[in-house]
């Protein structure tokens, strides 16, 4: 509600969650313009605006005083803290500026950690609305919608899409167009003198550069245009998008420059390689004769650059993406087919020749955007914000994100110890206390675990900082492959000398498991290509392996592989054979009191039922699922303490042999991640929430819900103690234990995300 302060003036507090200037981002500019305009039109109403800004780089940005809180987009705890901060603030309403790429996690799911903890009315502005969203994207939008009083969209088409595609009731959706500057309808010559272009015809495109912008089509068209109009100048205004630049450098801009040279257009194309402020942008727009919007993405639902060009009274030529089709109807501009430089050249020539047509388009575009000026848009937003406050009721939401609030608050992921154990060769096997022990050398087992963890971290958090570690660990695995044997070696001395020709069956199986995960989930052609090559060559030499754990690893790796390449017949044949082998192991040893695949339980036990469950779901094979659930249920019972309040793992000081009591010590951290994976897979198949409770129980072993009732992970170092003995923790923090802790924490993070979107 509107509040009164000490002077009895009405106040309204609005907090925006968005990227913000000086970050080079279209939504940052949008939010700045909106917040500024709201402040201007509401001077008599005493509206206060502030920003919670999203950082995509660790060091953040030098923000203006409007920014009161910073959120690191990959830090889940930052989103939770932002919610608590906003709950305690004077803000009456929160406005999220939503774009999937702004928020970390799958499909930007990190924002859900904020909204589920928010106790203020929420209005969300959607900048991207996908016609064919992925399941994760659909879930994120539905969760945001469930928490929001209103969703603001910026085109009429978007209103229909929200109802037809996402099932959002029209009463929740508000159409407020993209804002536009309020400028006079000026002759282009007014600013051409300033830019020393008074004798030129000027064509302009502005915005952050990157592939898909279609600027190459304009340059190609210009090669024809200059034959008739040699004095025409095409200005490409804008820096390369920071995300594109971080990943690809200036490759796209260089390709455009090379195209300019190819067509001898050096005197006709100007690159203004910087991010310009609003005042200078208006000047560039006002002095241009024609504005071209050549984007390749048909599904673009809004374009601030197109809106600005129309509001400045430009003759606009655009590809027929959704927003352009809607905005340029009724002779407000001209559309040309995607990537059709010949059609574009003809259109540009017609506009340059026909001043009457050009001016008619200019006037129509200018008149159509008078309702889109920022002052009008700001008033519309204030109206929606006020309605949201009036209609807001506490404790009305009971959506999917609230179903699993019993899941633990997770500690921050700390890679310090992982990095301390890692050198240019790989990760050291052992540590004395928390100091790496070079005398024990390296092993492929640990390096492939480290590879899996860093890849998983990159996928969950979209964090490029781990790329160097990924390369180190993958290089080690690559070097471990013995081409003569067609298998992976395991142990290497600190002097980089291999100590064997081939590792154990289980160590080779572990590699297959991790490579399969990479093949399924990574996008990098080089990483996937190398992983696939190693997978293809090595698995053919494992067909006769008999260890049940190795078979389980091969099944799991093959499920990942076949999820990406379902037609791979050789892999499918091996997969089918290994599924039957593991199932037959179960039938061979199973009896009334022993539901297992061997006559003993030792290490990584849960990988066996995990593999059958994954195979059963993948193949829709009920007998595998039945055996997997039956054996996992039995295993879980063996692991529960007598009090049934915590997990008591099978110790490696004797294991659990059929007919004998279970060894309670030494308990190893490596047991927990497979148990979590298997229980979660059981939940995905059965939808029984009891399996989620068991995932929770397993994970809590690290946090102190164990025999000693003390955390076995070391929050200070980021490592994990090597085991739980009958009298104490093993004080060493070697690779296997640390990697097991990090894997469990990452899996719990991912499971949390998936449950919030289920």
- pLDDT digit string, tens, across residues 133-154: 998 999 999 999 999 999 999 9
Residue 198's pLDDT band, with cuts at 50, 70 and 90, is confident
Tokens of 563: 């999820």
> What burial class does residue 379 get, using C-beta atoms within 10 Å of its C-beta: 0-12 exposed, 13-18 middle, 19+ buried?
middle
Percentage of the chain exceeding pLDDT 70:
96
Predicted pLDDT at 103 = 93
Report whether 344 contacts 218 (CB < 8 A): yes
Q: DSSP assignment of 64-126, as one string?
A: -TTEEEEEETT-HHHHHHHHHHHHHSS-SEEEEEE-GGGS-SGGGTTHHHHHTT--S-EEEEE
Nearest residue to 69 (alpha-carbon basis) of 87, 44, 43: 87
| pLDDT(202) > 90 | yes
Domains 189-371 and 416-756 share a fold: no
SS (H, E, C) 243-279: HHHHHHCCHHHHHHHHHHHHCCCCCCEEEECCCCCHH
* DSSP code, position 728: S
Predicted pLDDT at 334 = 98
Tokens of 230: 């040699």
Predicted pLDDT at 289 = 95
Predicted pLDDT at 475 = 98
CB within 8 Å of 429: residues ≥ 6 apart = 437, 440, 441, 442, 443, 446, 734, 735, 736
Instruction: Provide the Cα torsion 600, 604, 609, 611; round to 10°.
Output: -130
Query: What is the C-alpha separation between 136 and 122, in angstroms, rounded?
Result: 21
Predicted pLDDT at 148 = 95
Q: Residue with structure tokens 């034959």?
A: 227
Predicted pLDDT at 408 = 57
Tokens of 140: 């994120």
Beta bridge mates, 202: 233
| pLDDT(436) > 70 | yes
Predicted pLDDT at 278 = 85
> What burial class does residue 393 get, using C-beta atoms within 10 Å of its C-beta: 0-12 exposed, 13-18 middle, 19+ buried?
exposed
Tokens of 617: 């779901």
| pLDDT(3) > 70 | no
Residue 753's pLDDT band, with cuts at 50, 70 and 90, is confident
Q: Note the pLDDT tens digit of each residue in 543-581.
A: 999 999 999 999 999 999 999 999 999 999 999 999 999
| pLDDT(290) > 50 | yes
Query: What is the C-alpha separation between 575 and 572, in angstroms, rounded?
Result: 5
Mean pLDDT of 697-724: 93
Report whether 74 contacts 67 (CB < 8 A): no
Query: What is the C-alpha separation between 511 and 452, in angstroms, rounded?
Result: 9
Query: What is the C-alpha separation between 729 and 720, in angstroms, rounded?
Result: 10
Q: Note the pLDDT tens digit of each residue in 294-343.
A: 999 999 999 999 999 999 999 999 999 999 999 999 999 999 999 999 99
Report whether 571 contacts 520 (CB < 8 A): no
Beta bridge mates, 72: 55
| pLDDT(399) > 50 | no
| pLDDT(403) > 60 | no
Q: Note the pLDDT tens digit of each residue in 666-691.
A: 999 999 999 999 999 999 999 999 99
- Topology (CATH) of 3-179+375-402: Rossmann fold (3.40.50)
Query: What is the C-alpha separation between 289 and 308, in angstroms, rounded?
Result: 14
Tokens of 95: 């406005």
Q: Note the pLDDT tens digit of each residue in 737-751.
A: 999 999 999 999 999
Q: Note the pLDDT tens digit of each residue in 27-75.
A: 999 999 999 999 998 776 689 999 999 999 989 999 999 999 999 998 9
Predicted pLDDT at 189 = 79
Residue 409's pLDDT band, with cuts at 50, 70 and 90, is low
Mark out the alpha helices in 481-621 (DSSP H runs).
Answer: 505-521, 525-539, 548-564, 569-589, 607-619
Q: Does CATH number 3.40.50.2000 belong to domain 189-371?
A: yes
Phi, psi for residue 152 in degrees, rounded to 5: -100, 125
Query: What is the C-alpha separation between 286 and 184, in angstroms, rounded?
Result: 9
Instruction: Provide the Cα torsion 175, 284, 28, 164; round to 10°.
Output: 30
Q: Which residue has the higher pLDDT, 393 or 108?
A: 108
Q: Does CATH number 1.50.10.10 belong to domain 416-756?
A: yes
Strand pairing category for 150-153 and 173-175: parallel
Predicted pLDDT at 464 = 84
Query: What is the C-alpha separation between 332 and 272, in angstroms, rounded?
Result: 27
Which of 105-114, 257-266, 280-289 tops mean pLDDT?
Answer: 257-266
Predicted pLDDT at 682 = 98
Q: Note the pLDDT tens digit of each residue in 6-16.
A: 433 457 999 99
Tell me the HSE value of 395 on the side-chain side, using a 13 A CA sphere.
Answer: 0
Report whether 448 contacts 510 (CB < 8 A): yes
Predicted pLDDT at 400 = 41
Predicted pLDDT at 410 = 83
Phi, psi for residue 595 in degrees, rounded to 5: -100, 70
Percentage of the chain exceeding pLDDT 90:
82
Query: What is the C-alpha separation between 29 and 14, in angstroms, rounded?
Result: 17
> What burial class does residue 373 get, using C-beta atoms within 10 Å of its C-beta: 0-12 exposed, 13-18 middle, 19+ buried?
middle
Q: DSSP assignment of 281-344, as one string?
A: HHHHHHH-SEEEE----TT----HHHHHHHHTT-EEEE---HHHHHHSTTTT-EE--TT-HHHH
Mean pLDDT of 619-639: 97
Model pTM score: 0.69
Tokens of 92: 């009456």
Strand pairing category for 713-714 and 719-720: antiparallel
Predicted pLDDT at 756 = 75
Query: How far is C-alpha 697 from the geometric centre of its chain's CA atoms?
Result: 28
Which sequence spans correspond to the domains of the chain?
3-179+375-402, 189-371, 416-756
pLDDT averaged over the chain? 93
């Amino acid at each position: 509600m509107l509040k009164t302060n000490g002077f009895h003036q009405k106040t309204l507090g609005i907090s925006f969650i968005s990227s913000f200037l000086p970050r080079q981002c279209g939504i940052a500019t949008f939010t700045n313009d909106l917040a500024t305009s709201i402040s201007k039109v509401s001077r008599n109403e005493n509206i206060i605006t502030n920003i919670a800004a999203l950082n995509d780089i660790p060091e953040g940005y030098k923000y203006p005083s409007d920014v009161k809180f910073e959120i690191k987009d990959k830090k889940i705890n930052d989103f939770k803290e932002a919610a608590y901060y906003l709950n305690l603030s004077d803000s009456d309403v929160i406005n999220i500026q939503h774009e999937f790429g702004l928020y970390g996690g799958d499909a930007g799911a990190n924002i859900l950690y904020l909204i589920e903890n928010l106790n203020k009315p929420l209005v969300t502005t959607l900048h991207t609305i996908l016609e064919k969203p992925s399941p994760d994207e659909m879930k994120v939008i539905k969760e945001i919608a469930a928490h929001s009083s209103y969703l603001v969209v910026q085109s009429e088409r978007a209103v229909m899409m929200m109802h037809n595609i996402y099932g959002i009731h029209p009463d929740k959706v508000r159409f407020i167009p993209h804002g536009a500057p309020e400028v006079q309808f000026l002759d282009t010559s007014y600013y051409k003198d300033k830019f020393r272009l008074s004798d030129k015809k000027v064509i302009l495109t502005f915005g952050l550069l990157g592939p898909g912008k279609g600027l190459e089509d304009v340059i190609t068209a210009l090669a024809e245009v200059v034959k008739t109009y040699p004095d025409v100048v095409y200005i490409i205004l804008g820096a390369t998008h920071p995300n594109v630049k971080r990943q690809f450098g200036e490759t796209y801009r260089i390709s455009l420059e090379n195209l300019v040279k190819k067509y001898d257009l050096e005197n006709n194309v100007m690159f203004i390689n910087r991010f310009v402020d609003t005042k200078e942008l208006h000047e560039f727009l006002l002095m241009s004769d024609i504005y071209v919007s050549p984007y390749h993405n048909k599904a673009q639902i809004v374009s601030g650059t197109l809106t600005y060009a129309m509001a400045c009274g430009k003759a606009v030529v655009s590809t027929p993406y959704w927003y352009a089709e809607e905005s340029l109807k009724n002779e407000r501009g001209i559309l040309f087919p995607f990537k059709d430089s010949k059609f574009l050249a003809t259109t540009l020539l017609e506009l340059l020749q026909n001043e009457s047509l050009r001016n008619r388009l200019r006037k129509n575009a200018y008149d159509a955007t008078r309702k889109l000026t920022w002052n009008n848009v700001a008033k519309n937003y204030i109206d929606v914000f006020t309605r949201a406050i009036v209609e807001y009721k506490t404790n009305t939401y009971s959506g999917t994100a609230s179903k699993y609030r019993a899941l633990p608050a997770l500690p921050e992921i700390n890679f310090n110890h992982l990095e301390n154990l890692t050198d240019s060769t790989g990760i050291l096997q052992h540590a004395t206390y928390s100091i790496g022990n070079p005398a024990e050398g390296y092993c492929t087992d640990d390096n492939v675990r480290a590879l899996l963890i860093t890849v998983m971290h990159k996928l969950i958090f979209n964090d490029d900082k781990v790329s160097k570690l990924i390369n180190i660990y993958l290089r080690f695995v690559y070097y471990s492959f013995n081409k003569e044997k067609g298998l992976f070696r395991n142990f290497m001395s600190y002097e980089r000398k291999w100590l064997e020709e081939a590792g154990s069956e289980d160590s080779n199986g572990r590699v297959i498991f991790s490579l399969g995960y990479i093949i399924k989930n990574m996008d990098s052609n080089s990483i996937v290509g190398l992983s696939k090559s190693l997978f293809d060559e090595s698995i053919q030499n494992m067909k006769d392996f008999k260890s049940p754990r190795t078979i389980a690893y091969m099944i799991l790796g093959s499920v990942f592989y076949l999820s990406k390449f379902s037609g791979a017949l050789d892999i499918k044949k091996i997969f089918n054979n290994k599924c039957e082998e593991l199932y037959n192991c179960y039938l061979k040893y199973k009896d009334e009191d022993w539901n297992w695949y061997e006559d003993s339980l030792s290490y990584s036990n849960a990988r066996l039922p995990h593999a059958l469950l994954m195979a059963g779901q993948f193949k829709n094979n009920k007998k595998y699922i039945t055996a997997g659930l039956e054996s996992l249920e039995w295993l879980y019972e063996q692991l529960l303490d007598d009090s049934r309040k915590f997990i008591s793992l099978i110790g490696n000081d004797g294991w659990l042999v059929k007919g004998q009591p279970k060894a309670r010590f030494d308990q190893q951290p490596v047991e927990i991640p497979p148990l979590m994976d298997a229980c979660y897979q059981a939940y995905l198949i059965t939808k029984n929430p009891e399996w989620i409770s068991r995932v929770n129980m397993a994970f809590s072993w690290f946090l102190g819900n164990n025999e000693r009732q003390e955390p076995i992970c070391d929050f200070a170092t980021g490592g994990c103690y090597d085991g739980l003995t009958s009298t104490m923790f093993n004080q060493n923090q070697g690779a296997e234990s640390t990697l097991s802790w990090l894997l469990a924490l990452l899996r719990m993070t991912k499971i949390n995300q998936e449950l919030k979107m289920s």
